[in-house]
Structure 1
Amino acid sequence: MRLQVQIGIECIVIPYEEEETVHSIALKTVAKIRRLRPTLLSPKEGNPYQEVRRTVGNSLLDPEDRAGDVLKDGDFVILETKTSRTRENSKINVVSCFRIRFDFEPSSEYPQVEKPTKLLILDGDSLLPADLVRCERGECVIQVGISSVAFFGLCLTVIVKIYLSHQRILSSDVSFVTVYGVTTGFGIFSNVRSIPSLVKMLRRLQLNLVRSHATGYGQPLHPSKVRMLLALRINVLAKGYSGVSLENVKKMVAAFNAFCVSYVPQQGTVGCSGDLTPLAHLALGLLGEGKMWSPITGWDDADLVLKKNNLKPLELGPKEGLALINGTQMVTAIGAYALERAYNIARQGDVIAALSLDILKGTTRAFDPDIHRLRPHKGQDISARRLRSLLHSDANPSQIAESHRNCNKVQDAYTLRCVPQVHGIVHDTIEFVRRIITTEMNSATDNPLIFADREEIISGGNFHGEYPAKALDYLAIAVHELAQMSERRLERLVNNQLSGLPTFLTPNGGLNSGLMTVQLCAASLVSENKVLCHPSSVDSIPTSCNQEDHVSMGGFSARKALTVVEHVEAVCSWEDAVVDNINEEYDRLIQHLHVSAMKAESSKVTKRRLSPETQELIRQRGIARTAGKRELTSKLAKQCT
């Protein structure tokens, strides 16, 4: 933990312990300023500070309070110090104010890194989206190959493939033939031949390529997302068709395992000829240029980050620059992350729909297995079975279902009755996208490709991002429907005319507005999603002097798919929270699905305010429900997972 003291445009970082009081932190701050900037404060005399106030509201802090109890992560305070200085034979008091930022928990810019507990083998053929998410979470270190005989983090079965493709690039006959990106320029300059006799020229060509293409724009990817990008690029190189050297693959593996990642702006790729710009930024840091991040340095110059982590920069040989930046790893990595989160919220969506239907006393007759047998879509059947298991089954009989046998209520609104039909296509789309993304993760998307066994180097178009771009556009469109359904059920829950419950679920309407704006916020995000669901991949702007005359625009397909998923998570979490506040009797459905501490805390907080912290808590609770952390009967568990 640390705090940052702002002095003009400078910041001084001060470590501190979790249990420290405001007083002890103030003393430590003053001591650090005196040592590092002695001209700002006179030598120690009496009480070194006057008071500490919160910047927002100017509220005075009690020196004896524990800082963590009165301040939250990211808060700013003003520390006032009073010193005596002599000026023209007179003693005057000078008050200095220092602005302090508290970081009680590592911020998103400086994610906490724990020691990985798992080994992930990258062989170019078997990487899964869930594996990339484990990389994002920092749960694993990587090794390249499938053999148990390792050499510098590489396995012998893959070493041969990588070695042979690299040797093919270095062979003497290649130097005297025209090979794209090896003895020629790039894009429209593919007809410009390099001087084959000058090896330095061939190496310089690769370095120039990386530097010239590192022109990204916008906020950087979070370091954890860059780890996915790096792992995926290593996996592609491990296939042995790119021509990179064993030494450079070894260095990339070492950088990943040391949590050293490059500064990669999110925008600037059109998803054709690969994700050239973001991958160029990824390569630039590994070359010791630009910015990098590591747990022990934070963001710093790449050469310093590598040095402090005992790592060496890559040294590019012929084609290696092109091999590092030509591929679909940006769109695929972000897409895989969005896919896994969509998978979780889709399962959670069925559970939340069941809770709302139970609260609204809907009928389960629409989920009769014979109905869905007559329309045998896989996802629809899965969703219907899940709803039956939760609402009315041998393991979990429902009094409400029995009460509907002889009542006048024939059917419910579509957002209750048609959950299997709407949620089902979401489940099926997710599985379709999973096939596309998994194949893309384990594909050689470089150009040209080196076929060492045939002694040929062939230019192709595997770098084109149309497959993942289209798939992720489909993902956004499909998963959005979960939020559309959820928002309409939210309206039913808070609307007295539709539910028979108190308006906005408050017993004293007028004095309290209750959950009036929860549905409003949900409507806002659903409306945003309608814009974001417009397919990015239907557009194409020719680039590179019309050499690249059709592009996928897959980078935005991936980013907006993730944004849509995040919005869906928020809307579903609000529906979950509303149900949570209606009636504690619904626990009969979910007593085994909740993590007890999370439920108690979310119930307590949502009765006061549905804060961002609460929304994240509810989202995490949803993930816990769908990640196997439940103790249902074996029959119910099989049907709900």
Structure 2
Amino acid sequence: MNNIIVLDGNSLTIQDLIKITRKGYKIQISDESKQRIIESRKIIEELISGNEAIYGVSTGFGKLANVLISSEEQSTLQENIIRSHSIGFGDFLPDEIVRGAMVIAINSYCKGSSGIRLSTVDLYIELVNNEVIPLVPSVGSLGASGDLAPLSYIASILMGEGKAKYNGKTYDGKELLNILGLKPVNPVAKEGLSLVNGTHVLSSYAAHTVYDALSIMKHSAISVALVLEAFHGNTDAFSPFIMENRAHKGQRDFAKTVLKLIKDSDIEKIKAPRVQDPYSIRCSPQVHGAILDTIRYAKDVVEIEINSVTDNPLISVSENHAFSGGNFHGEPISLVMDFLSIAMTELGTISERRVNQLLNTSLSNLPAFLTGNPGLNSGLMILQYADAALSSENKVLSSPATIDNTPVSADQEDHVSMGLTSSKKAYKIREIVLQMIAIEIFTACQALEFRGERDLSPVNKEIYDYIRKKIPPIADDRRYDDDVYWVIEQVKAGNLLKNIEKELLSISGE
């Protein structure tokens, strides 16, 4: 059971989801979930037998909701929605996003409000546990009704159609199911709609973005601590007294973390050369703290969403009724991903400004561009150009997607969330900001070469030594692009955090 996550529709965490998508954990559903799924299916069958008009079961979809479908054609209707909605464009979604969407879908079925058969859910679980990755185009969802097109591509595999990756090769859906010894689903009433209607793809993007954003925040505390030492910054700006006078938790937690990282450093003992440091250093608790609060808020919203049913209609066992509603609307995630995009862009912006502080000799009193012979050598001059270019990329990407509404389905669906667009942007921004924080760490380590014989804090010394074991200081101009890429990979893998997690508990929320 150590490498199995049990889904019950209520307790899936972002951390659990990452274990499944990145660490190969398997899934199963709880016995209670199985019973809820069975009971929900019984209600659908009873309602069908009573000839009740139910959206997407005995009617068409979208603007065609007023078209009644005979009982003989209801299975065909469910197959048709999967086939007709499988249309998208662009590159295929990342494997972890598709896998995450599949898990979130299964978790939503565990609540027993979708009317899907247990056998269909079991097949879905087999696909996840065999690490099957349907090929899903990245463009085509409006975030209402959920992620119709992307989820249709996933559902196609359950029908033995479409294409998917398995063990590094691409197969047709039918061939793949044969290889796995699985039988395709012939979707019955309500199932096709349950398979394609939901916010699972945009929520998967959001979950992965939030998880990585928290890791990036930890690395940003490292970068600030290193810059403080290299810049010989004034630690008063991080004092508990200042933090006590403003009650934002993120600000307090970030300042507390940085103080732990610089504990027992010379800069705690030596008088700072400046009464006040530039804002990008002095106000880092306020800026990074606000970003940390944003990430935490986003985490709460996303964990609600991945434990929700975003299908329509929803089946109430207790009331023996199919309720038509709008849980498929991706607005909660769309808004919070736009918010997170702005916050993470800010993290990159302030990081680039600190890099500038180190490279500008008139600001840092360090050699120009951190090279020993400025003029003959350009040092890290162009690294800041790249850093600024990355920042510019994010400023474009952080424009909100939620406010862009395009009515569809003959104005029946007259307001959409653009949630997948906002989530994809946030996911891209988090990748860029990770690179920018790595650049700051790389730059700060180079700046420390010019601070003479000074005692770094034990934590900063450990980070510095870890990097120097691989990357020598830059004395004269040489290629260093691979060095920066290596630091980026260390940040991505979390290798800089391995021995200092206790100093980062405040950011983790522990």
Bin of the TM-score, shorter chain as denominator length: over 0.9
Q: What amino acid sits opposite 2:163 in the alignment?
A: K
2:367 alignment counterpart: 502
**How much does 1:386 deviate?**
1.2
Instruction: Give the corresponding residue for 1:143.
Output: 28
Q: CA deviation at 1:164?
A: 0.9
CA contact (8 A) 1:576 1:618 kept: no
- The question of whether the paired residues in 1 share the 8 Å contact of 2:266 and 2:457 is answered with no
**Larger C-alpha radius of gyration, 1 or 2?**
1
1:168 paired residue number = 43
* Residue 485 (structure 2) pairs with residue 615 (structure 1): yes
Using the alignment, how far apart are the partners of 2:314 and 2:468 within structure 1? 53
Q: Name the CA distance, whole Å, in 1 between partners of 2:433 and 2:442.
A: 14
2:5 to 117, 120, 140: 120
d(CA) in 1 for partners of 2:358 and 2:406?
46
Report if aligned partners of 1:602, 1:614 keep a CA contact under 8 Å in 2. Answer: no
Q: Distance in 2 between matches of 1:350 and 1:269?
A: 36
Q: Which residue of 1 aligns with 2:85?
A: 213
Q: Is the 8 A contact 1:389 1:640 kept in 2?
A: no
Paired position in structure 2 for 1:279:
151
CA distance in 2, matches of 1:601, 1:117: 35
What is the CA deviation profile of residues 564-601 of structure 1, one whole-angstrom value per residue up to 9, with x for unaligned ones?
A: 11111111101111122233567544357549666522
Partner of 1:359: 230
Q: What is the deviation of 1:513?
A: 2.1
Pick aligned residue for 1:203 from 63, 75, 84: 75
| Alignment correspondent of 2:186 | 315
2:94 maps to what in 1? 222
Displacement of 1:311: 2.4
Deviates more, 1:538-547 or 1:504-513: 504-513
Identity over the aligned pairs, expressed in percent?
Answer: 36
In the alignment, which residue of structure 2 is the partner of 1:527? 392
The CA distance in 2 between the partners of 1:313 and 1:466, in whole Å, is 33
Aligned to 2:66: 191
- The RMSD of aligned alpha carbons is 2.2
- Aligned-partner Cα distance in 2 for 1:638–1:255: 36
Do 1:264 and 1:278's aligned partners in 2 also have CA atoms closer than 8 Å?
yes
CA distance, structure 2, for counterparts of residue 587 and residue 398 of structure 1: 5
Is residue 458 of structure 2 the alignment partner of residue 571 of structure 1? no
For 2:387 and 2:359, locate their aligned partners in 1 and report how far apart those are by CA, in whole Å: 13
The TM-score with structure 1 as length reference comes to: 0.75
Is 1:260 equivalent to 2:132 in the alignment? yes
Partner of 2:103: 231
1:625, distance to aligned residue in structure 2 (A): 5.5
Deviation at 1:175, TM superposition (A): 5.1
Question: Counterpart in 2 of 1:383?
Answer: 254
**Residues 604 and 215 (structure 1), Cα distance of their counterparts in 2 relative to 1, 3 Å cut:** farther
Q: Give, as a single letter, the amino acid of the residue that structure 1 aligns with 2:143.
A: G
Structure 1 CA distance for aligned equivalents of residues 461 and 229 of structure 2:
17
| 2:123 aligned partner, one-letter code | K
Q: Report the CA distance between 1:631 and its aligned residue.
A: 5.1
Match of 2:268 in 1: 401
Q: CA deviation at 1:511?
A: 3.5
Q: 1:129 aligns with which of 4, 9, 14?
A: 14
CA distance 1:226–1:637, shift in 2 (3 Å): closer
Gaps of 5+ in 2: none
More helix by share: 2
Relative to structure 1, the CA distance from residue 173 to residue 521 in structure 2 (aligned partners, 3 Å threshold; closer, same or farther) is closer
CA separation in 2, counterparts of 1:612 and 1:279?
Answer: 39
Structure 1: segments with no counterpart, 5+ residues: 1-115, 146-155
Out of 46, 52, 57, the position equivalent to 1:177 is 52
Greater strand share, 1 or 2?
Answer: 1
1:359·1:586 contact (CA, 8 Å) conserved in 2?
Answer: no
Contact kept in structure 2, 1:598 and 1:621, CA below 8 Å: no
Residue aligned with 1:171, SS: helix
Partner SS, residue 322 of structure 1: helix
Q: What number of residue pairs does the alignment pair up? A: 503
Change beyond 3 A, Cα 1:490–1:613: closer
* Residue matched to 2:171: 300
Normalised to the residue count of structure 2, the TM-score between the two structures is 0.93
1:161 deviates by: 0.5
Partners of 1:429 and 1:640 in 2: how far apart? 12
Contact 2:36 2:112 in 1 (8 A): yes
- Residue 288 of structure 1 deviates from its aligned partner by 1.2
**Residue 626 of structure 1: CA displacement?**
6.8
Of the candidates 624, 634, 639, which is equivalent to residue 494 of structure 2? 624
Give 1:410-559 correspondences, 5 Å limit. 410-559=275-424
Which structure's relative contact order is higher, taking Cα pairs within 8 Å and 6+ residues apart?
2
Code of the aligned partner of 2:65: S
1:254 counterpart SS class: helix
Letter in 2 for 1:237: Y
1:261 to partner: Cα distance: 1.9
